[in-house]
Amino acid sequence: MKRKWAWLFLFIGIPLTTNAAIPQQVTEAAFEAKVIAPLGAAELCQYKALKSLGWEIKIETGNRNHISFNESSKACNQDSLDDAHKNGELILNITIAREGENSWKSVAQNFKSLLNSTNYLQTPLDSAASLCAYKQKVRTAALTATTKLDANRRYNFGVGKWAYCDVPWDEWSKIDQSNRYSCVVATLSPTSAMECFYDYYCRSECAAGLQASLLATQMELYRPHFDQAFSTSEVILGYWQDLYQSDNPFFSKTKQEIYSKRIQDEDGTLHASLGAAAFIGLSGYIGNVLGEEYLDSPADRGENFMIVDMSAAANEELKSHGGLPYFTQMNHQLWKLYNEEGSNDYQEKIDKILAGAFYSQVKVYVHPLGIMSFGEHIKRLLERNPRTPYKFRLHDETTNSVLFERYKQHLIKRCQSP
């Protein structure tokens, strides 16, 4: 190495030779350069993927080389990655031995043996903790996407005239399917197609609005690499039955790599066991119970939603009551109270139920209503259709399975081919 560069490596804390002694204070840059990088591209990119997901790296010296971490999903009950770190979650603790290990070379050899025998980098990457880290990123992406969708005053409600949606036809094209109205699919690029819903005139009903919000969330998550990570055939909006026959990454039933890994949790009990952030980015439906003949406002028969935010208290309330069926029962009770209008304490009882954590602290996006709480939605629906109660359910989809794995692989590929 040329002598004139020596000062630079000393300044950033990286020893000049592999046989240099281990300093008392080891920097993350030194550990990455002298221990992780020599292991090979696979290990280096796993390590960098963990950092990109939001894991914090803490390095100290000690009596033996060791890596420790918490695999649990406790980070899903934090409001952000910063809060998770402050509470001791999503931290990869690395101990480097100084006693008996007098050079970086011997430390690197020891860590190579350690990682080969225990898979210490892949294990945290595949853990529930990493899912929670990913979902904290989805939380940010979902809020960004739905805020932009809601801000577009030219994104209106209704069925398209010539297709399932009205969209700019230089960015989208129609696909003939089984229904009278065809699906629409991106043509030029996934990003330019989805940004139409932020900036241009579009029209759709709430199912397509949900589909758009799911894809927009992925776009915000992957920026600026959405076009490299998703194909135009995956950016498709349509009737549910047609969507099942498409390449849609959330709902396809023809692509086995998607359909076989969808998560079926209609009642929400599985996700409640992980924590509040596990729900962020999931989709579902608020549907009327008694049918069309009981609807005074048919346009409000139900609402497709995407969950944008959820508090730990709301998750705990959902978990303690055994999932969404309990709150469907509470919706029935609310319906009965709305039909008892005029009794002395009916409004007080309604307000008490809607003040609960689940009704007030779960925020969902519904087109064209924007971001509202479950309580606000139920109140609105009962005011328009007082002759039927409403029920909650989650859709079967892939946000926490296929798309989680896909995001991790994207991080690794970006490392391998920047």
Same domain, 164 and 191: yes
pLDDT tens-digit profile, the chain (418 residues): 444 443 333 333 333 344 566 777 888 888 888 888 888 888 889 999 999 999 999 988 888 888 889 888 999 999 999 999 999 999 999 888 776 555 788 888 888 777 776 677 889 999 999 999 999 999 999 999 999 999 999 999 987 666 678 899 999 998 876 555 678 999 999 999 999 999 999 999 999 999 999 999 999 999 999 999 999 999 999 888 888 989 999 999 988 888 899 999 999 999 999 999 999 999 999 999 999 999 999 999 999 999 999 999 999 999 999 999 999 999 999 999 998 866 678 889 999 999 999 999 999 999 999 999 999 999 999 999 999 999 999 999 899 999 999 999 999 999 998 7
Same domain, 28 and 114: yes
**Residue 224 falls within a domain, yes or no?**
yes
Same domain, 195 and 226: yes
Same domain, 362 and 408: no
Residue 251 has, within 13 A of its CA and on its CB side, a CA count of 24
- Residue ranges making up the domain that contains 158: 138-262+397-418
Contacts of 11 (CB under 8 A, 6+ apart): none
**Residue 418 falls within a domain, yes or no?**
yes
Could you tell me the CA-to-CA distances from 199 to 162, 211, 236, 240 in Å, in that order? 21, 17, 18, 26
**Which of 82, 100, 126 corresponds to the end of one domain?**
126
**Which of 126, 154, 174 corresponds to the end of one domain?**
126
pLDDT value, residue 4: 43
Q: Which is nearest to 171 in space by CA: 214, 246, 232?
A: 232
Same domain, 147 and 80: no
Same domain, 258 and 303: no
Same domain, 62 and 103: yes
**Residue 131 falls within a domain, yes or no?**
no
**Which residue type is seen at 370?**
G
| 362-366 sheet: strands from edge to edge | 370-373, 362-366, 302-310, 283-288, 390-394
Contacts of 138 (CB under 8 A, 6+ apart): 217, 221, 277, 280, 281, 399
**Residue 132 falls within a domain, yes or no?**
no
Same domain, 386 and 401: no
**Residue 37 falls within a domain, yes or no?**
yes
pLDDT value, residue 3: 43
Structure tokens at 28: 């993350």
Same domain, 331 and 374: yes
Q: What element of type H or E holds 202?
A: strand 202-204
pLDDT value, residue 177: 60
How far apart, in Å, do the first and last CA atoms of the chain sit? 26
**Residue 19 falls within a domain, yes or no?**
yes
Domain tally, the chain:
3
**Residue 407 falls within a domain, yes or no?**
yes
Same domain, 70 and 174: no
Which 3-state string (H, E, C) describes the chain? CCHHHHHHHHHHCCCCCCCCCCCCCCCHHHHHHHHHHHHCHHHHHHHHHHHHHCCEEEEEEECCCEEECCCCCHHHHCCCHHHHHHCCCCEEEEEEECCCCCCHHHHHHHHHHHHHHHCCCHHHHCCHHHHHHHHHHHHHHHHHHHHHHHHCCCEEECCCCCCCCECCCCCEEEECCCCCCCEEEECCCHHHHHHHHHHCCEEECHHHHHHHHHHHHHHHHHCCCHHHHCCHHHCEECCHHHHHCCCCCCCCCCCHHHHCCCECCCCCHHHHHHCHHHHCCCEEEEEECCCHHHCCCHHHCEEEEEEEEECHHHHHHHHHCCCHHHHHHHHHHHHHHHCCECECCHHHHHHHHHCCHHHHHEEEEECCCEEEEHHHHHHHHHHHCCCCCEEEEECCECCCCHHHHHHHHHHHHHHHCC
Angstrom distance (rounded) from CA 314 to CA 143: 18
pLDDT value, residue 310: 98
**Which residue type is seen at 263?**
I
Same domain, 272 and 389: yes
**Which of 126, 148, 168 corresponds to the end of one domain?**
126
pLDDT value, residue 116: 72
Same domain, 387 and 277: yes
**Residue 133 falls within a domain, yes or no?**
no
